[in-house]
Amino acid sequence: MAGVPQGPGTSCADGPCRACCNEFGSSCFNLQEQRCLATRGTVLPVETCAYCGVCNVAVDCEPPAMCRLINNEVTETECPTYMVLAAAINGQRISPPTATILASPGDMITAEIFLRCWSQGDHPPGDLHVLRAYQATLSAASFFNEVTGSIKPKNFDQITDPMQRCPRDALVPQPPANPMAAFMDTNHPEFIFAGCGTFGSVDTRRCGYRFGNAIAPGCPSPATFCPEPPNAPKYAGTVILNASNDARGEFNICLDDRDVSDTHPGPDLSFLSRQLQPGEAGSDHIVPLHFECLKVTVVPSTCAQISSSDPPDGSIDARQSRNLDGSNPTGIQQLDLTFRFDQGCDVSDIEHSGFSVSTEPPGMAPTVVDLDMVDSDTIRVRLSDPIPPNKWTRISYDDGDAVTDTCIGYLSGDVNGDQMADSDDVNRLVQCLNGGGCEPHQRNIDRSTGPHAFNPQDLVRELDVLNGANSLGPQEGMMLPASPCS
C-alpha cells in the first residue's frame, strides 16, 4: 500500500508514503519514510499493511514504551505513582480532581487517593505487572506547616492530639473509629478493583490513616502501560480533611513516602504488590514508587476567589498558532473561571474591574472584554485577543481582599506539557492517538473540526510545527519560563 507524492503540506509531500507501525505496535499510518522514523515508528513492507491492526505480530516492532527505570530513560511522572487529589471542597465537587486547591480556614476538603502507572519495566503485552494489593498511608507530619494551624482528618482532634499523644505511626490507645473521615468507596467510578471482590479496610488507629486493599483470587486485575496510555489514575481511598480556624499558608498533604524495602515494606508504609507469574520467584513489591502531594493554600476568607479554571491552571495549548500559509492567527480567547464565595457573596458580586491580564515573558496582553455567567459559581471570561504564543497568560482577580489567578501557556508543539517543544512531544502525540487521554488543546494540532478532528494528520502537523514547515516558524527547542502562577 505504497503512496505517491502529493502537494506541499501533505503527509506524503516529500516522497512516497509507506505503512508506518507506531511504537506501540497497535496501529499503522501512511507516512513518508523519514517522518515515520521521526515518530520512532518502523517502516513496514508493503504487504504487511494487511496486518495493520496487529502489526506487532506482522513485523518486529518496538515494544510499548513503558516505564524504563534503568539509565534514567524516564521521568518520575512516568513511574508507579501515588497521588493525593482534591475532589470536593465543602461538598462542592471538583471535576476533574486537582493537585492544587485554594481553601479558607474551617473548610472541609474531600481528598482522594489515586494510583497510576503501576505496571513498570520493559515487559511485552501479556507480561505486565498486574496489581494484586496496595497500602496507602497518610503522613501525619504533612498535616502541619511552618506557619500556623493544621489540615487534619475530620474529627481528628476528638480522637487524639498528635502533637501530645500520638507520635508518627504510633498506636492510639483504644481510639474510636472514624469512618466518616476515612473510607474506601468501592462504587467510585474509577475504583481500581471495580467489578472484583476485594479485601479492603481503612485503619484509623494510627495518626497516619492506612488504606489497604487486595483483589480476590481469580479475579482479573487491571494492568496499565507506563507512561499513560491507556492508563488513567485509579481511585484507592478517600479522606475528609478539615482546615483549622487558625490555618494559614501552604500545606502539602502527602502519603508516607519513606523508602519501601524491596524485600519487606513494613506494616506502616505505602506500597504496591504485584501478582507473580507462575513459577516466578522473588519479591512481589513494585519499586521504586513516586508520590505526589495535594497542595492546599489556606488564606483568610474573602468575598470571591478563583478556585479552578477550564482549561485548568498550568495547561499549555500545543496547537498550531496559525495556518501553514500564515493565515488565521488564533489561540485560546475565552476560559471559564470557577469561584468560591465567602462573606455572603455570590456570582453577582464578580466585577469586571477586578480582572487583570498579564504575560510572562512580559509583553502585550489581551484584556477582559466580556463576562458571562455559566452557572452559580462559574464565569466565562472573554478576551479581546487570543492569548499570545510562546508565553504564559495570567488572568488575575482582585476582590479587594486577595488576588487569585490562573495561568494558561501557549507553546505550539508542546503536547506533553513540559514547557519545551521537542521530539518527546511526538511520542506523546502517538500515545494520544492510542487512547492516551489527551485534552483537545494537547492533541488537535491542526485545529481541524468535526467528529474525527483528531486523527493521524495531527501527527504530521506536529512534525510541521516542530520543523517550521511553510510559514510556520520552527518550534523545536522553544521553551516557556516557569509559570507566574506557580
Q: How far apart are CA 468 and CA 263, in angstroms?
A: 51
- List all residues 6 or more positions away from 157 whose beta carbon is below 8 Å from its beta carbon: none
312 in the same domain as 187? no
Task: Say what the pLDDT of residue 468 is.
Answer: 92
Lowest mean pLDDT: which of 33-42, 121-130, 184-193, 349-358? 121-130
Task: Say what the pLDDT of residue 19 is.
Answer: 54
Give the pLDDT confidence of 96-115 residue by residue, as tens digits. 899 999 888 889 999 999 98
Residue 207, burial from CB neighbour count under 10 angstroms (0-12, 13-18, 19+): buried
- List all residues 6 or more positions away from 451 whose beta carbon is below 8 Å from its beta carbon: none
Mean pLDDT of the region 442-470: 90
Q: Is the pLDDT of residue 171 over 60?
A: no
328 in the same domain as 233? no
238 in the same domain as 367? no
71 lies in a domain?
no
Give the pLDDT confidence of 124-150 residue by residue, as tens digits. 444 456 788 899 999 888 998 888 889
Cell numbers given for 324? 501553514
Q: Is the pLDDT of residue 163 over 70?
A: no
182 lies in a domain?
yes
Task: Say what the pLDDT of residue 63 is.
Answer: 30
Give the pLDDT confidence of 236-280 residue by residue, as tens digits. 999 999 999 888 889 999 998 776 544 444 566 788 877 766 666
Last residue of a domain, one of 268, 298, 328: 298
What does DSSP assign to residue 428?
A: H
Lowest mean pLDDT: which of 3-7, 168-172, 329-333, 467-471? 3-7
Task: Say what the pLDDT of residue 248 is.
Answer: 87
67 lies in a domain?
no
Share above pLDDT 90 across residues of the chain, in percent, rounded to a whole number: 39
User: E strand or H helix at 28, and its extent?
Assistant: strand 28-32
Give the pLDDT confidence of 41-50 residue by residue, as tens digits. 666 554 333 2
- Confirm whether pTM is higher than 0.75: no
Indicate the pLDDT class of residue 346, thresholds 50, 70 and 90. confident
Number of domains in the chain: 3
Farthest CA pair distance, the chain:
78
70 lies in a domain?
no
Task: Say what the pLDDT of residue 254 is.
Answer: 93
Task: Say what the pLDDT of residue 43 is.
Answer: 61
Residue 24 vs residue 257, higher pLDDT: 257
Count of positions (residues) in the chain: 486
Mean pLDDT of the region 197-211: 85
Q: Is the pLDDT of residue 479 over 80?
A: yes
Last residue of a domain, one of 236, 271, 298: 298
83 in the same domain as 47? no
DSSP, residue by residue, 34-56: HHHHHTT-EEPPGGGGGGGGGHH
433 in the same domain as 372? yes
Phi, psi of 48 (to 5 degrees): -80, -5
**Domain CATH code at residue 486:** 2.60.40.3710
290: left (phi over 0), alpha (psi -120 to 50) or beta: beta
Cα of 170 vs its chain's centroid, Å: 34
Task: Say what the pLDDT of residue 371 is.
Answer: 96
227 in the same domain as 337? no
Task: Say what the pLDDT of residue 352 is.
Answer: 93
Give the pLDDT confidence of 58-93 residue by residue, as tens digits. 333 233 232 232 223 334 345 678 999 999 999 989
316 lies in a domain?
yes
Q: How far apart are CA 286 and CA 199, in angstroms?
A: 19
Task: Say what the pLDDT of residue 32 is.
Answer: 52
The CA-based dihedral angle spanning residues 342, 295, 441, 119, taken in that order and rounded to the nearest 10 degrees? -140
Residue 140: CA atoms inside 13 Å, Cβ hemisphere, count? 22
**Domain CATH code at residue 224:** 2.60.40.680
Using DSSP's 3-state secondary structure scheme, residue 327 falls into coil
The type of residue at 64 is P
Task: Say what the pLDDT of residue 439 is.
Answer: 87
485 in the same domain as 384? yes
311 in the same domain as 204? no
285 in the same domain as 165? yes
Q: Which domain holds residue 24?
A: 1-62
Give the pLDDT confidence of 305-328 residue by residue, as tens digits. 898 999 999 999 999 999 998 899
Give the pLDDT confidence of 418-441 residue by residue, as tens digits. 999 999 999 999 888 887 778 889
- List all residues 6 or more positions away from 63 whose beta carbon is below 8 Å from its beta carbon: 25, 122, 124
448 in the same domain as 333? yes
Residue 184 vs residue 9, higher pLDDT: 184
Indicate the pLDDT class of residue 205, thresholds 50, 70 and 90. confident
Distances in Å between the Cα of 327 and the Cα atoms of 15, 347, 424, 466, 470 are 26, 38, 28, 18, 12
Indicate the pLDDT class of residue 23, thresholds 50, 70 and 90. very low
Cell numbers given for 311? 482549561
Task: Say what the pLDDT of residue 221 is.
Answer: 63
Task: Say what the pLDDT of residue 165 is.
Answer: 47
Last residue of a domain, one of 245, 279, 298: 298
Q: Is the pLDDT of residue 52 over 60?
A: no
DSSP, residue by residue, 86-144: EEEETTEEEEEEESEEEE-TT-EEEEEEEEE---BSSPPTT-S--EEEEEEEB-GGGGB
166 in the same domain as 132? yes
Task: Say what the pLDDT of residue 37 is.
Answer: 60
309 in the same domain as 281? no
Mean pLDDT of the region 203-225: 77
